[in-house]
Structure 1
Amino acid sequence: MKFAYRTSVTRRPLRNAVLALPVALACATALTVTSPVRAEDPAGPYQPVTSERLGHAAQDNGWLMYRHDYSSTGYSVLDGINAGNVAQLKPAWDYETGSKSGHEAPPIVNGDYMFITTPKNGLLAFQASTGKLLWKYQRDLSDVGLKTICCDVVNRGVALYGSNVYMATLDNHVLALDATTGKVVWDQALEAPDLGYAMTLAPLVVKGHVIVGVSGGEYGGRGFIASLDAKTGKQIWRQSTIPAPGEPGGDTWPKGAYKTGGGATWLTGSYDPQTDSLIWGVGNPGPWLAVLRPGDNLYTDSVIALNPATGKIKWHYQYTPNDTWDYDGTNEPVLTDLTYQGKAYKALVSASRNGWFYAVDRTNGKLIYAEKFAHATSVSGFKDGRPMTDPAMRPDVDKEIFTCPSFLGGKNWWPIAVDPQTHFAYVPTLHTCMKMKGASVSYKAGLPFLGETFTVMRDPEHPDEWGSVQAIDLNSGKQAWSFKSALPWNGGMLATAGGLVFSGSADGYLYAFDAKTGSVLWKSPKMSSGVLGVPSTWKVGDRQYVGVYAGWGGGVPIWGGDMAKDPRVRSIPLGGHLYVFAL
């Protein structure tokens, strides 16, 4: 059944306020409609988000950043909703956005204030406990062609700092908005639109710096990470991910290729205060066809550590050298401690697009271990900590190959969660393979820069499922449990101290799994669309909430090949809808 609009109190909020947003989104105008929030309003005075609070976000009752804390764990210490009572979880309130594109952002919550973005850079502020709409902002994209937006006009959320909310936009701006009114405080452009760049990630704030990255690897845009002053928007530094000749790693590219080398940084990174390092993923090289750019092509398909004050790269680890399969290395690096073969490590873990689960020493970038979590044939093994690739799996203009996983990856952008109680990583997994063949290509700004054709196909090792949720033991890299899905699993993961793991399915349900065993302890009423969104949880007063977007879209319907043609996938309804649950 479809949810009725419900609140945590007996009266219903006014529907007129709720229904106003679809009109604004459809128009995509420059409108910024605000309802100033006063101290006597239900959400109360806004508590500024300080560097100290961000540093202790793991213990906060809210959800202050994209993956909850600087380690990007996706784990909450809240246990009011737990394995013993989750079966009583009920809808608390919900909100329809009116947009039929992919909805990928998590609810970001500070006190009783919630902030969540919509496709095409809308931003909504709610009272987190009741769903009362406080204000809304809509970015004016009417003069932007959006032709270089890969994989839907999405946005993955906001950052909080001081009394501002920060959002990166599809036309390559970073905005600071007043958290209580929605008024724009500053607006800083980083690149022109429609020439190979876009911005879809949630910013990360570290020591008063707003850190952002860009999309554009499919268009030959040279990737970068940038730092802006949180108070003024002034750019502090900008670090390219593709080194020029004479720079470290510059000799891993053919002459001139660095200018169109890709290396997008389109997912939010992490921060390690112990080493004072930003830890960030870097995407695929351009063009896709690797024979056109011999060499390792640093720092594509890598994780890099940077000095947050200067942007200087400290170290790197490359997941897929000389990538020719679009195996992005942007997958979120989760910082965690583990013990492998009797030795303790300060690690980062990442479930890479290439089908391998990596543990890397976050102090120096050295590989600890790598284990397959999906069917993987292109990256065939490791030698002295370096990934080895199978030459037979490399396409060329006159050579078609069949390899696993597909370019959609064993896991795509949807994030994992790490639970310090079970010491498991929870991984939303795709099971696909692909045919791929080289094609002629030349670079032209604003046009796709691929040089390959491809078809996503079923994985012969998983003939009955397109996806799964699996738990991986961090100390070994081995699977602990798995939940199979006939449909692709594109929902992000949330783990809690209540012994639960939450994630949404493509057929429109939010699941609560037992964190230790994978048993399904609760499944929501059917929601209005499939889930791409990332769930989060927060507490207001004595009540804990869990929220998630339903709103199918993203890359699978566009590029999913045989998976996208599956009648069960094709029949997934569209439409953005935020759902909030509580006991």
Structure 2
Amino acid sequence: MAGVGIGLAVGLAAAPVAKADQAAYTPVTTDMLNNAGSNDGWLMFNHDYSGQDYSQLNQINTSNVGTLTTAWTTPKIDIPDAFEGVPVVNGNYMFVTTAKDHVIAYNATTGQKLWEYVYKLPQAAFKTLCCDTNNRGVALYGNMVIFGTLDNHVVALDAATGDVKWNVSLAEPGVGYSITEAPLIVNGKVIIGSGGGEYGARGFIVGLDAETGKMDWKFYSTPAEDQPGGNTWPKGAYKTGGGSPWMTGTYDPSTDTLFWGIGNPGPWLATMRPGSNLYTDSVVALDPNTGKLKWYYQYTPNDTWDYDGVNTPVLTNLTYKGKDYKALISPSRNGYIYAIDRTNGKLIYAEPFVHDTSITGIKDGVTQTSQALRPALGKTITTCPSFLGGKNWWPIAVDPQTHMAYVPTLHACMSMKGVPVTYAAGLPYLGETFQMLPDPTDPNHLGSFQAIDLDTGKQVWQHQTKDVWDAGALSTAGGLVFSGTPDGKLHAFDAKTGKELWSSPPLGSAILADPVAYSVNGTEYVAVWTSYGGVWPMWAGKLADSLKNTPRFGQLHVFKLGS
């Protein structure tokens, strides 16, 4: 437990008392979280439990967005990795995380730094990272700011001072596990999942007591032989089966149900693990009080292309073929957007949103895959989409006014070949080599930002880009949808028509993160991180060459209306 002591010592040393002109911190209650959609702040990763990344604020709207100007920016933060977190705002307090697990509190209107906590990471934590040193944000509860770390700790800080209140370890570093997602607070519990599917680490989600950090329950995403779903694995394979739930989930208070996406199975090469391999590449519905499974839906059975199912399960109501549904939607890595009845896990519809050859269709609610396009030992295939997916982790936004989903999209394909692999703790567990390729149907556009009709799953409008589009989306009651591009520009579109109404000047680096909106004292702000790193430069090969000179540092940019 040496890491606990180290973290505590660093936290105390790095947490000065909040500035005298900062208002007292307002504790975050369960009632506030249940009603986060109407709060002027941004109280959790996806704004509220629905995961819609929709703000009810409308001061910034289609008629005036063209006057947006910089309200404040942070100094450049000299960490050359991906900043993929969202600012979380409660009143006039903003909390952000950086790459390598720093947590910073700012005055949300001026950018004045209130405190900074620097978590001391052991070298072992960097050994088994799939996709950079990112940390996607914090959760708020009571007087605490709670976050996960790359070495698998969950830490609670005092919101006003940054002092450590508790620090618990969920897994040893260096053997495959890591945590990069923001926690979700539900019913006084901290819900968080593990990363590490590329290392054969058996995925899990835990519920911790928010007051103490004590573990109340643990759900393994790959079931043992004597558990429901265990017969979908060869004997013993679940122990190294991956299935990392590495992105923040959502929650339905009306049914007290937690929804969480589960990642790819291990090894990547599916011939080594015949069966559907539950609950990998799935969304699972859990009781947040016990971790008990209610139902599941699997997007890609026996996945062999790294089509993680971790993309946020976004809660919305829709009408499909004349019938009303309480649904969840998810544009999956496998290139299909799924609408699922969130009361029972039954498929409503699934429609392709990119050029897709791996998935051949849906039969009786089950995704069908191409047997010819499955790699095997000595067999090379070419298929679409790539292992980075038709959409990677980047959050979508849903606008209840337009009834559309706004989807950052990647248009790329890949070749894959099966190679021998043996599991060893702390080493990659893939069994495949790969190369990213342009999509032959449109090799000049790697990215797009598209609007999809929730009632049909069909595209309404689209913006195409030469380079990848790998930033999240924000929609607002002002009739706007925001997202950023790798050239460092934040864009605002008319949510109905897709017309671009404003873009920022280049902000100095790329935009990989999700914008947020919040209001303090009657003034609405939009904030977003700039940085470069993450999955694209690490895994895209030559397709990322055009961005190789992108400056690497983190900086937060906050905008408001000009005069």
The interval holding the TM-score normalised by the smaller chain is over 0.9
Tell me the secondary structure at the aligned position of residue 14 of structure 2: strand
1:399-478 matches, within 5 Å, as 399-478=379-458
User: What is the match of residue 91 of structure 1?
Assistant: 70
Q: Distance in 1 between matches of 2:190 and 2:122?
A: 26
Q: Distance in 1 between matches of 2:237 and 2:434?
A: 23
User: What is the match of residue 150 of structure 1?
Assistant: 130
Residue 570 of structure 1 is aligned with which of 544, 548, 551? 548
1:582 aligns with 2:560: yes
Displacement of 1:35 in angstroms is: 2.5
Displacement of 1:464 in angstroms is: 1.1
Displacement of 1:561 in angstroms is: 2.0
Q: Distance in 2 between matches of 1:30 and 1:208?
A: 24
1:335-346 matches, within 5 Å, as 335-346=315-326
1:51 aligns with 2:26: no
User: What is the match of residue 525 of structure 1?
Assistant: 505
Q: Distance in 1 between matches of 2:181 and 2:398?
A: 21
User: What is the match of residue 118 of structure 1?
Assistant: 98
Residue 364 of structure 1 is aligned with which of 316, 337, 344? 344
Q: Distance in 2 between matches of 1:582 and 1:202?
A: 26
Q: Is the 8 A contact 1:32 1:182 kept in 2?
A: no
Q: Distance in 2 between matches of 1:110 and 1:359?
A: 32
1:75 aligns with 2:63: no
Q: Is the 8 A contact 1:32 1:138 kept in 2?
A: no
Letter matched to residue 466 of structure 1? L
Letter matched to residue 118 of structure 2? Q
1:215-226 matches, within 5 Å, as 215-226=195-206
The percentage of counterpart residues that share the same residue type is 58
Provide closer, same or farther for how the CA distance between residues 493 and 483 of structure 1 changes in structure 2, counting only shifts above 3 A.
same
Q: Distance in 1 between matches of 2:126 and 2:13?
A: 21
Displacement of 1:37 in angstroms is: 2.1
1:52-451 matches, within 5 Å, as 52-95=31-74, 96-451=76-431
Residue 14 of structure 2 is aligned with which of 26, 33, 47? 33
Displacement of 1:445 in angstroms is: 0.2
Cα shift readout 1:68-103 (whole Å, capped 9, x = no counterpart)? 000000000000100100000001110122211000
Displacement of 1:488 in angstroms is: 0.3
Displacement of 1:398 in angstroms is: 1.7
Tell me the secondary structure at the aligned position of residue 557 of structure 1: helix
Displacement of 1:145 in angstroms is: 4.3
Q: Distance in 1 between matches of 2:168 and 2:11?
A: 16
Q: Is the 8 A contact 1:32 1:136 kept in 2?
A: no
Q: Distance in 1 between matches of 2:13 and 2:276?
A: 46
Q: Is the 8 A contact 1:103 1:154 kept in 2?
A: yes
User: What is the match of residue 3 of structure 2?
Assistant: none
Tell me the secondary structure at the aligned position of residue 58 of structure 1: helix
User: What is the match of residue 470 of structure 2?
Assistant: 490
Cα shift readout 1:6-27 (whole Å, capped 9, x = no counterpart)? xxxxxxxxxxxxxxxxxxxxxx
Provide closer, same or farther for how the CA distance between residues 230 and 393 of structure 1 changes in structure 2, counting only shifts above 3 A.
same
Tell me the secondary structure at the aligned position of residue 406 of structure 2: strand
Q: Distance in 1 between matches of 2:21 and 2:107?
A: 7
Tell me the secondary structure at the aligned position of residue 271 of structure 1: strand
Tell me the secondary structure at the aligned position of residue 126 of structure 2: coil
Q: Distance in 1 between matches of 2:22 and 2:439?
A: 49
User: What is the match of residue 11 of structure 1?
Assistant: none
Displacement of 1:142 in angstroms is: 3.8
Tell me the secondary structure at the aligned position of residue 34 of structure 1: coil
Q: Is the 8 A contact 1:117 1:156 kept in 2?
A: yes
User: What is the match of residue 24 of structure 1?
Assistant: none
Q: Is the 8 A contact 2:264 2:308 kept in 1?
A: yes
Letter matched to residue 575 of structure 1? F
Displacement of 1:210 in angstroms is: 0.3
**Root mean square deviation, CA, Å:** 1.1
Q: Is the 8 A contact 2:12 2:164 kept in 1?
A: no
User: What is the match of residue 551 of structure 1?
Assistant: 531
Tell me the secondary structure at the aligned position of residue 305 of structure 1: strand
Q: Distance in 2 between matches of 1:572 and 1:482?
A: 25
Residue 510 of structure 1 is aligned with which of 464, 479, 490? 490
Q: Distance in 2 between matches of 1:574 and 1:508?
A: 12
Cα shift readout 1:161-209 (whole Å, capped 9, x = no counterpart)? 0010000000000000000000000001000000010000000000100
Q: Is the 8 A contact 2:10 2:117 kept in 1?
A: no
Letter matched to residue 486 of structure 1? K
Letter matched to residue 37 of structure 1? A
Q: Distance in 2 between matches of 1:435 and 1:143?
A: 33
Letter matched to residue 49 of structure 2? Y
Displacement of 1:34 in angstroms is: 1.9
Cα shift readout 1:329-376 (whole Å, capped 9, x = no counterpart)? 000000000000000000000010000000000000000000011111
Letter matched to residue 199 of structure 1? I
TM-score relative to the length of structure 1: 0.94
Tell me the secondary structure at the aligned position of residue 144 of structure 1: helix
TM-score relative to the length of structure 2: 0.97
Q: Distance in 2 between matches of 1:525 and 1:31?
A: 39
Q: Distance in 1 between matches of 2:218 and 2:508?
A: 41
Tell me the secondary structure at the aligned position of residue 528 of structure 1: coil
Provide closer, same or farther for how the CA distance between residues 162 and 30 of structure 1 changes in structure 2, counting only shifts above 3 A.
closer
Q: Is the 8 A contact 1:29 1:141 kept in 2?
A: no
Q: Distance in 1 between matches of 2:268 and 2:503?
A: 40
Q: Distance in 2 between matches of 1:561 and 1:360?
A: 35
Q: Is the 8 A contact 2:261 2:309 kept in 1?
A: yes
Q: How many equivalent residue pairs? A: 552
User: What is the match of residue 541 of structure 2?
Assistant: 561
Q: Distance in 2 between matches of 1:91 and 1:334?
A: 31
Tell me the secondary structure at the aligned position of residue 265 of structure 2: coil
Displacement of 1:575 in angstroms is: 1.0
Structure 1 unmatched ranges of 5 or more:
1-27
Q: Distance in 2 between matches of 1:29 and 1:522?
A: 42
Letter matched to residue 248 of structure 2? T
Tell me the secondary structure at the aligned position of residue 434 of structure 1: strand
Provide closer, same or farther for how the CA distance between residues 67 and 32 of structure 1 changes in structure 2, counting only shifts above 3 A.
farther
Structure 2 unmatched ranges of 5 or more:
1-8
Tell me the secondary structure at the aligned position of residue 449 of structure 1: coil
Q: Is the 8 A contact 2:247 2:310 kept in 1?
A: yes
Q: Distance in 2 between matches of 1:105 and 1:529?
A: 15
User: What is the match of residue 17 of structure 1?
Assistant: none
Q: Distance in 2 between matches of 1:487 and 1:378?
A: 23
User: What is the match of residue 4 of structure 2?
Assistant: none
Displacement of 1:550 in angstroms is: 0.4
